[in-house]
Amino acid sequence: MQYVADLNAAKTTGAAIEIDRVSHVYAGPEGGVPALSNVSMKVGAGRFIVIVGPSGCGKTSLLMMMAGLRDHTEGRIDVHGAPMPKPDPERVGVIFQEASLFPWLTTFDNIEFPLSLRGMSKDERRRKSQPMLQLVGLTGFGERYPHELSGGMKQRVSIARGLVQDPPVLLMDEPFAALDEQTRMTMGHELLRIWETTNKTVVFITHSLTEAVYLADEVYVMSPRPGRMIDHIMVDLPRPRTYEMMATDTFGRMRDRIWQQIRKSH
Amino acid sequence: MKYWHIILIRAAILALVLGAWELAPRWGLVNPMLLPPLSDVLVTLQIQLARPTVQEAILITALEVIVAFIIAVPIGAAAGVAIAEFPYAGAIFKPMLFYVFSIPKSIFLPMFILIFGIGFQQKVAYAAFTTAFVVLMSATAAVESVKSDYILVARSFGATPLQILRRVYVPSMMPVLLETLRISMIFNFTGVMIAEMYASRTGIGHLISNWGENFQMPQLFAGVIMLSVVAIAFNETVRYLEARCSTWRT
Ligand SMILES: Nc1ncnc2c1ncn2[C@@H]1O[C@H](COP(=O)(O)OP(=O)(O)O)[C@@H](O)[C@H]1O
Ligand SMILES: [Mg+2]
């Protein structure tokens, strides 16, 4: 109930996530390690946001903070109008890399894990996980264990697990990094299809500039550590995106712009 | 290779070994005084098992093994988990424990005899001492085998610490825990046997060592068979459980 109200709040202010001058310093053996410096961003509800930046610039840290999994030193992060002092699966679903499935659980049980934490009955859980399995295109694989699935399939399970509680916001930290190039493209395409049918707000981190432009409504570019936002690019390619768009000039120009920003900042 | 082929070949090898044990002494290929025929040993085993002294010895050894195990496992496990969970304690104690772990524990046996005498307590104390180290090392490995990713996933879905313990740590550690149980029982059993054979007035180890010294070969081999059967039975039971709950392991 509470998050329905929050959803409405998001509609009125237009922001699903609001990050206001966030800085973070990790405690280290020789004083602090500054990881983020004065980061601000405003993510509209239902938007697909991609964050790119060099390794170690604080992308994961920022995402963990949005998920309520890590504290920040300074600034404010609101998700649907309220801060995230601890994880709230009703507001935010996190999708990790493929290795994060529990190997001792079947596909069904992995997807239902978040529901089982809340003591939901087995029948009810299955009623919710079945459509998720179908959504990610894995009907018939419910009783398999992760080691019986390919990398791409595991990632589909992981997405289904992140969606099963129907949170309005999905956070994804380099979810396809471990996949081969082809699977990665297919998964990106699949993700867009799922996103278009579910109306989620997505924040997606990647190293791949092509992936960034292909997926995003908006791309944020971060500087090397301590991470700052150095560019914000609107990707105004039409939806649904097609593979052919990658060959267009517009696509190439946007990818170049991101690349220049990253190069300049070193 | 088909599975039943392997079973068949194994059975054939076993039959061959047992057959050789029976026939080689009878045909005079080996000295029957050193290696009595299998059938003689089995008859002796039956007679020995019926003797009250032997039954008492079995009971005492079993008690020593069980008590030592019950003492060693919780102590070793608690210390092992503490070392894995508190990096500070780990940094201090881990190297020391690894050093001590590498020393053959039997050289400490004379000290245990000085402190505890040669009775029940000494067997239990020595076996528990050797076993606790194994449990400690394995428990540390078990905790460290739980990937931090799993904990992060569970936390992101709002799992409480208790839920993380029950739903992530326990299933994730289960294969390693059973393995620990199995290996530590081997060490535990060995500890009791060595202590009994070194200095004791009772127990199976003591009987075996006596039979050996008195050149009573049929009795000695009967004792070996008896112990082997018990040890293998325990080992296989735990291995069966292990296989059942680690189908997901790749
Ligand atoms: N828990 C932590 N404690 C101390 N330093 C950390 C911790 N997590 C990350 N860092 C440091 O903060 C910086 C940013 O890390 P991270 O957010 O993982 O970057 P990215 O995901 O962009 O590669 C890195 O230099 C990293 O070493
Ligand atoms: Mg990262």
pLDDT single digits (tens) A17-58: 999 999 999 988 888 899 999 999 999 999 999 999 999 999
A72 in the same domain as A127: no
Confidence at A3, pLDDT banded by 50, 70, 90: very low
The CA-based dihedral angle spanning residues A73, A75, A81, A83, taken in that order and rounded to the nearest 10 degrees: 10
> Which residue range is the domain that position A183 belongs to?
2-91+167-265
Of A7-11, A226-230, A261-265, B23-27, which gets the smallest average pLDDT?
Answer: A7-11
Pick the last residue of a domain from A139, A166, A193.
A166
Separation CA A67–CA A122 (nearest Å): 27
Residue ID of nearest Cα to ligand 1 atom 24: A56
- Find the B123 Cα to ligand 1 centroid distance in Å: 52
* Predicted structure pTM score: 0.77
Does the pLDDT at position B233 exceed 50? yes
Atom from ligand 1 closest to the CA of residue A205: 21
Does the pLDDT at position A116 exceed 90? yes
Residue ID of nearest Cα to ligand 1 atom 3: A26
Question: What is the structure's pLDDT at A91?
Answer: 95
Confidence at B1, pLDDT banded by 50, 70, 90: low
Query: Does a structural domain hold residue B21?
Result: no
List the CATH number of the domain containing B216. 1.10.3720.10
A109 in the same domain as A85: no
- Find the A54 Cα to ligand 2 centroid distance in Å: 9
Does the pLDDT at position B85 exceed 90? no
Query: Does a structural domain hold residue A97?
Result: no
Question: What is the structure's pLDDT at B145?
Answer: 82
Whether residues B147 and A96 touch (CB distance < 8 A) is answered with no
List the CATH number of the domain containing A43. 3.40.50.300
Pocket of ligand 1 (CB under 6 A): A 26, 33, 35, 53, 55-61, 225
Mean predicted lDDT score pLDDT of chain B: 90
Does the pLDDT at position A4 exceed 70? no
A75 in the same domain as A11: yes
Chain B environment of A114 (Cβ under 8 Å): 157-158
CA dist A12 to A80, A81, A82, A91, Å? 10, 10, 14, 17
Chain A environment of B163 (Cβ under 8 Å): 117
Separation CA A215–CA A15 (nearest Å): 20
- Find the A147 Cα to ligand 2 centroid distance in Å: 24
Residue ID of nearest Cα to ligand 1 atom 14: A58
Count Cβ atoms within 10 A of the Cβ of residue A248 and give its class: 0-12 exposed, 13-18 middle, 19 or more buried.
Answer: exposed
CB A45 within 8 A of CB A36: no
Separation CA B182–CA A193 (nearest Å): 50
